[in-house]
Chains A and B, each alone.
Chain A
Amino acid sequence: MKRIKPYLLFLIAAALIALLYIINPPMGSKAAVTVLSSFKEMLFILPPVFILLGLLDIWVPRETMVRFMGEGSGLKGALLSFLLGSAAAGPLYVVFPIAAAFMRKGAKFTNILILIGAWSTTKIPMVLFELSAMGLKFGLTRLALNIPVILIITFVMGRAFSEEERAALYERAEQVD
């Protein structure tokens, strides 16, 4: 059961798609095609992201991360976090293991928040997609608004966590692997 549990959502969704296929074949096959194509897309995007994550974990010494993104890294650290998040590829949930690896290496809490925020909204390919799909005015307005949105979330969450709670979060990042 313990081995099946992580796959529960997948099994339920797959069963529902099979059921949908029986009830409504065109809808069911549309769902299956969407799933297969996004899975292929993921398998294509993810290998380099995880290879870089592995190299980071083994090669980059803690001191280096602390110097660039740690407590004393100031504006430069924030900017670096923003750029790293914006340059990245993959949906938001891919950033979770990456953020945890950064925490293990001693990156500052607010920089982790900026990294997650930038990953979710200001990614370069995403902005380009948005500009072409939704128009210049819509895309640029949202881009201009998303930067303060990231900062507000970072600021509020930075205040909401006490020293002990942050320490517990870093402890959790150590364990999660």
Chain B
Amino acid sequence: MQTTIFYGVALSLLLLSFIKDRQKTRRSLVKAWKSFQNILPQMLGMITSIGLLLALLSPAVISEVIGSSSGWWGVLLAAVIGSITLIPAFVAFPMAAILLENGAGYMQLSAFVSTLTMVGVITLPLEIRFFGKKFTILRNSLAFALSFVVAFVISKVVH
């Protein structure tokens, strides 16, 4: 649904651009292709390693280490597993739901989901390429630390 809107907007603007100035449209598309090509190798690498990790870490295994009685130790483990890589939401949440069914705790899952979407160790080289070391390390560390605060509040609110 959202993707349909995106396609609609992108294609209408592209058409508008084409009507107004063919040369500029050509340059836009070349630019788009170059940017895509630039992140393609890393994207392939990330998608492939995520697939490998998801096959190795079965929901049963993860749920066991981050079960609802695993406490802060479980939260730490969940945050570390979540930090390995950045995962798109359409993979992250169905996975979190399966983990919940398998006995993972809310507090632990909160840390897992937060670091899953905000912290990525495998994506560090790509982020560094765009923003440098200081920016990348600071952003990832802050997000990592704050996911514990979020997990703590979740543990107080959701039982």
Could you tell me which A residues sit within 8 Å of B by CB distance?
Answer: 6-10, 13-14, 16-17, 20, 27-28, 30-32, 34-35, 38-39, 41-42, 44-55, 57-59, 89-94, 96-97, 99-101, 116, 120-121, 123-126, 129-130, 132-135, 137-138, 141-142, 145-146, 149, 152-153, 156-157, 160-161, 165, 168-169, 172-173, 176-177
Q: Are B110 and A20 in contact (CB under 8 A)?
A: no
Q: Are B9 and A48 in contact (CB under 8 A)?
A: yes
Does B139 reach chain A (CB closer than 8 Å)? yes
Q: Are B93 and A153 in contact (CB under 8 A)?
A: no
Q: Are A27 and B122 in contact (CB under 8 A)?
A: no
Size band of the interface chain B makes with A: 35 or more
Does B60 reach chain A (CB closer than 8 Å)? no
Interchain CA distance A48-B36 in the complex, whole Å: 11
16 pairs, CB–CB < 8 Å, chain A vs chain B: A6-B41, A8-B45, A10-B48, A34-B55, A55-B10, A57-B28, A92-B118, A96-B130, A121-B118, A132-B93, A134-B93, A138-B109, A145-B154, A157-B139, A176-B130, A177-B35
Q: Which 5 A-B pairs have the closest CB atoms?
A: A9-B45, A54-B32, A35-B51, A6-B41, A31-B55
Set A45, A101, A133, A141: member contacting B96, Cβ < 8 A: A133
Interface flags, B129-152, vs A, CB<8A=1, else 0: 111101100110011001001100
Q: Are A169 and B135 in contact (CB under 8 A)?
A: yes
Q: Are B158 and A27 in contact (CB under 8 A)?
A: no
Set A125, A132, A145: member contacting B153, Cβ < 8 A: A145
Q: Are B126 and A93 in contact (CB under 8 A)?
A: yes
Q: Are B150 and A99 in contact (CB under 8 A)?
A: no
Residues in A with CB closer than 8 Å to B66 are: none
Contacts A48-B3, A52-B13, A176-B129 given: A142-B32 contact, CB under 8 Å?
no
Q: Are A146 and B97 in contact (CB under 8 A)?
A: no
Interchain CA distance A47-B37 in the complex, whole Å: 12
Does B19 reach chain A (CB closer than 8 Å)? no
- Which residue of chain A has the shortest Cβ distance to B45 in the bound complex? A9
Does B74 reach chain A (CB closer than 8 Å)? no
Residues in A with CB closer than 8 Å to B11 are: 48, 51
Interchain CA distance A172-B11 in the complex, whole Å: 30
Set A47, A141, A157: member contacting B138, Cβ < 8 A: A157
Contacts A58-B31, A152-B142 given: A130-B158 contact, CB under 8 Å?
no
